[in-house]
Amino acid sequence: MPGAMKPVPAETLTESPSINNTRLRRFLVLAAVKLLKRILPSHGAVIFIAGKLCIKFGPLRNLPEASTMRFIHQHTSIPVPKVYCAFERKGWTYIVMERIDGEMLGSHWGERSNDSKTEILEQLKKMIAEMRNIPPPRGQTQGICNIDGGSIWDSRLPGTSMCHGPFKSVHDFHKHLRGDPNHYDEVSKLIALQDKAWPPPVFTHGDLSSLNVLVRGDKITGIIDWETAGWYPSYWEYTTASQVSPMNYFWREEIDKFLDPMHEELEMETIRQKYFGDV
């Protein structure tokens, strides 16, 4: 198990840094993307190179995802892709990382035995507990931010940008989510729920669907797609996991088995999405 993690001084945490961003590496990555994206297997904006390497790229990517995977790989036992290189160029982000051997958990979930499902969900529960023990950046103990203390990134949140914050407190985050609301009865209830006292934020993946958990047999081999990760309110992992897509609908029945149920918070988020929709 990893040792205790020390928070990084907040004054060093402004923007997420590039990783191994040499001129030669940039040239090789850009050339590979240009030459190979039409002929090699891909999934969305990810090119799979050989058996153990892939490149994630595009304008809807962000460097904090690379920082997060690097931090999780170095300081926890949670299986994530190892990052070899990451940089931005002309508004696009490029992340060269390990390709993890495994299939999406949702691919054959219905065919698994109850024992197999229990084994996998117990592993996931332990990984989430380890995530929640990650200390926030010094000076950000009550704030909402990414792994480097900067803006969180989420295309589902309201606003004209995918980057939000950072926020000094959970209350500031809640005010951002609801903007300047009209006071319908349900919105008044939402405000009352959001304005109550909240525990400190916890580190959160932010998109724990069965599509982002990779398995081989009964073992979790990787958790992927960390672009939305950061310190969020304690309920955020639960409510975002509950926002299932049609491809992932069965997952709603499993969430309470690896996350503490937060039904009042889920109702709060349901009201918020009704009036200030995030998708």
**Boundary residue ending a domain (98, 130, 165):** 98
Indicate the range of 15-24, 97-106, 172-181, 232-241 predicted with least confidence: 172-181
Write down the mean pLDDT value for the chain: 89
Establish if 94 belongs to a structural domain: yes
pLDDT at 220 over 70: yes
Give residue 192's domain range. 103-276
pTM of the model: 0.89
177 lies in the same domain as 267: yes
Exposure of 220 by Cβ count < 10 A (0-12 exposed, 13-18 middle, 19+ buried)? buried
Residues 99-130: tens digit of each pLDDT: 999 999 999 999 999 999 999 999 999 999 99
Residue 24: give its domain's CATH number. Answer: 3.30.200
pLDDT at 25: 96
Establish if 5 belongs to a structural domain: no
pLDDT at 124: 98
Question: For residue 258, which phi and psi values (nearest 5 degrees)?
Answer: -125, -5
Q: Give the number of domains in the chain.
A: 2
192 lies in the same domain as 261: yes
Establish if 208 belongs to a structural domain: yes
- Average pLDDT (130-134) is 94
- d(CA 120, CA 271) in angstroms, rounded, equals 32
